[in-house]
Structure 1
Amino acid sequence: MALLENLTNPELLSAVNTAVDSLDDKDSVALAQAASAGIARLEAVRFRALAQLNRHRDGARSVTQEVAFALLLVDNHAGAMVAAADALTTRLPRTLNLMDEGKLSGFSAMKVASATVWLSDEDARAVDAVLEDRLADKNPDQVRKAANHAANTIDPEGAGKRAEQHRDGRRLTVRHGETGVASIEVEDGPVEKVTAAYQRIDREARALRTGGETRTLDQLRADVALDLLLGGRGGTSERSEVFLYMDLFTYLGMNDAPAELAGHGTIPAALARHISAGENTVLRRIITDPPSGQVLDLGRDRYRPTAGLAEFVRVRDRECRRPGCHRPAQTCDLDHSLPWQHGGHTADTELIDLCRRDHRLKDEPGWNYRLSSDGTLTITTPTGQQHTSTPPPLHEPRPADEPPF
């Protein structure tokens, strides 16, 4: 449609990009500011579009997943954007107007929406009015503080309730970072418990700083925290199953092909060998199809008994099959791509791994899941958009007549 085509003018943008090289410092800063103002205006358009979609669906939870697909966002951020869009177009019109004027970024506007989420519509509008002349030229952290202060001022009696609701929303999250590292975080935990936990970790870390200790205090704190979570410091050590995919020649050090850790992604061969050399490591035999690299069979010699078909599907899929979701398959639900009541079969050709949230999404009206013979899963959303996922091969596909080495 013409409206979408006119939101940005490719010819004008190309001319601006060409002229950038000739700008002095002052003009470069001015251009960056102008671009930021333009982005804010476009973000206001995006919020209105998301709010319209949410209204049409009556706030159905599947809206978040469709937005995540369409805008290539992780689910949490997509959900926050949908919630902010609803608030900005109903309870916070002045904040949205600041975006229209290019004075407030979408990220900062989401801070206002988050700070006022517990308020009544009337109180939220009052905060919106108070903030109208206070947010321009403020960075996101300043906006957050101003919005929280205004909310507490408008509804001081509700401060305790808001704190309780925040504490009720506590959760544990894992964030995968660069190659081979990840972070674990207790979000919105009770401040007194978080503070006490940190003090214990810090105390034990400092006690380990003996003459021969080479780790920094930060490294010691991280190691102590993980040891405590795994029961390794004075408790019973827990064993957890982690899926590490690497070929035999990488394991033997004959090549340095990257390996893959389910839920995290690619890791260097040297790190994979280090992890696989740990105590209690269990080696598995997995047979693959040379032309495709896909799993054909699993070895059954293992320390623990297997659930056969269920384990095969989880090893094959590695992660939740919804595109963009990286929850490891061993924590997911096994589900029929074609529902059992509609003729589905309990076979590896029809079973897929879906995390609990995406399992529930599959049953929402308008969502359709189809698994092809080559393992490609096609998801059709209520708006007709199609998204596909295929289990990654365990090795690079090679011709069937090519020797293995």
Structure 2
Amino acid sequence: MTDAAETPGGEDYLAILAGVVADAGDVAVELARAQVQELRMLAAAGRLAEAQTAQRNARVQVHDMALRSIAAEVGGVMRVTDRTVQRRIGEARTMIEGFPATVEAWEQGRIVRGRAIAILETGTSLPAELWPEFEQVAITRCERDTPNRVRGELKILAHRMHPRSFAERHEEAAATRCVRIVPGRDGMSDVIATVPTVIAEGIHDRLTQQARAIIDTRDERIAARGGIGVAFGAAVTQRDSDSDSDSEDAAVIVATDNRSADQVRADVFADLLLAGTPTLDDTRDTSAGPLGAIRARVQVLVPAATLTGEDDGPCDLTGRSPIDPATARTLAGGTHIWERLFHDPTTGVTVSTDSYRVPSGMRRFLQARDQHCRFPGCRVAAIRCEVDHTHDHALGGRTELTNLAHLCQRHHSMKQFTAWRVRQLKGGVLEWTSPLGRTYREDAPTPAVAFTPAEPPPPPIAPAEPAPF
């Protein structure tokens, strides 16, 4: 007989789940206090090391030895290496002494550890005299969102507060671009390329599209017996030959190709770099093969002032991190799908359709509105999400802007197959309800472009009446 507690939606199940959630809240409070207490302990250890040498006007080396000794002592109790403790001491002092308001908010439970770390990591890119101003704004923002969602906004905030322009700092950083190899285990190595963010995002996106194209056409290529494949990174190409054995060998390779998306992506990456074009492409000798024709996609939010050159601040590579304004302007000027999007339906934006399929114009509007997955805390970029009917189309939901929102595959599936429910309010606001009845509002992101009404034109001046004779 099935236990009632094992039945989702049953009273016993919900009661047990409510207890687990309540315990999670209590544990979170206790954990935060313990984490802050540990932070203060480490900061005190750092101050002790500094005090040991301050009165003797000691050299830097003497201070470092004192810090190493204390770190080794503390590390023995914490059962971690002294190097780890010494690094954490430095981080703790920066947090305790440089961001006291953040520590207080963390201890009070207003923010969690992940948010505090996000404030520390983004704020330290600024001069120390700007830290208090930065953390006050950052704490307010962190109280309303999750760490992964807020991190990008904090980076943008820090870049805009920095006394040097983002364009100037990006130019210096771009001069450090490089490729390096980190030897790994079992004959493997990591190839690490330090390049501008928008380039890195484009590289990964193109590799992902090509990997999906290869995986999705496996059955077609097996049926055609002219397929190609890669086994363990060794490219195998179809050759023009009268021999049936070559074709059969290629078909066998395709039929046994069980690589994951990550593995295919890595193989395509190697092919592109070693051969110049994807050797997996059936028509690689032509100018428009199915893989070679794939181009990278990135979604960039460019403020109007930056686009016109009035502002030189960073732009947001949606779901990732800031990019320099010059690159953003280049992308905006070179794209073939650049267009203005308006919320007012009288401007011509498609707001509703009788079909299930979402028209391209409406999809682009939703990408600009949503920017990312609309489940609370998720930051998967909209261009990698699915457009979901908030009220299911099969149950009568219409394909219209007020019933559509982007959800990543994970949260789209959760909406369909769990007790989580969602409804869309005015302005694109989503209200999620958990199995326990808790509600979470997911406000629409701040629009990338805002339009304000112009001053009304002055009334026309009536022509003067002709003077009587």
TM-score by length of 1: 0.45
Larger Rg: 2
TM-score by length of 2: 0.40
